[in-house]
Amino acid sequence: MEKFEKKYRSLRIIAWFFKFGAWISFVCGFVLFFAVLFGGKVLFHLMEGSGAYMQYMKFGRTFGSFIMLSGFLLNTLFLYAISSTIYLFIDIESNTRRIATILPRLQAPLSSPPPAEKSRENIS
């Protein structure tokens, strides 16, 4: 198997940054989710009260933390998809270049007639 040069180094770096950003978004999303979900209990102890208003605030905190987590997960998915798309285009180009170098070698024997046909032409 032949070794082909790796082209488009800058695109590979950009794709790596998108993938790295996706992982950072994933980790930060879960850290902030737990910080908002469980860190808000300290705020509720300071506010002192247990009326209906506090119940709505607890629901809002929980709902808000899940909305925030879903936003971070969507952002992670989007960044990872961009990275994978860049890698896909690089792979398509690499495979196309590989086929372009191999194809002429495969077609060369087909252009000349087989040896049996040559012998018949020489006899007649």
Residue 33 in tokens: 């989710």
Which pLDDT value is given to residue 85?
97
Q: Are 29 and 68 in contact (CB under 8 A)?
A: yes
Per-domain boundaries in the chain = 9-102
Confidence (pTM): 0.67
Per-residue pLDDT tens for 18-49?
Answer: 999 999 999 999 998 888 887 766 555 555 55
> Within its chain, how far is the Cα of 43 from the centroid?
38
> Within its chain, how far is the Cα of 102 from the centroid?
30
Residues 6+ apart with CB under 8 A from 115: none
Per-residue pLDDT tens for 94-121?
Answer: 999 888 888 887 776 655 555 665 555 5
Q: What is the largest CA-CA distance in the chain?
A: 111
Helix, strand, coil abundance in the chain, percent, nearest 5: 85, 0, 15
Q: How far is it, in rounded angstroms, from Cα 55 to Cα 62?
A: 11
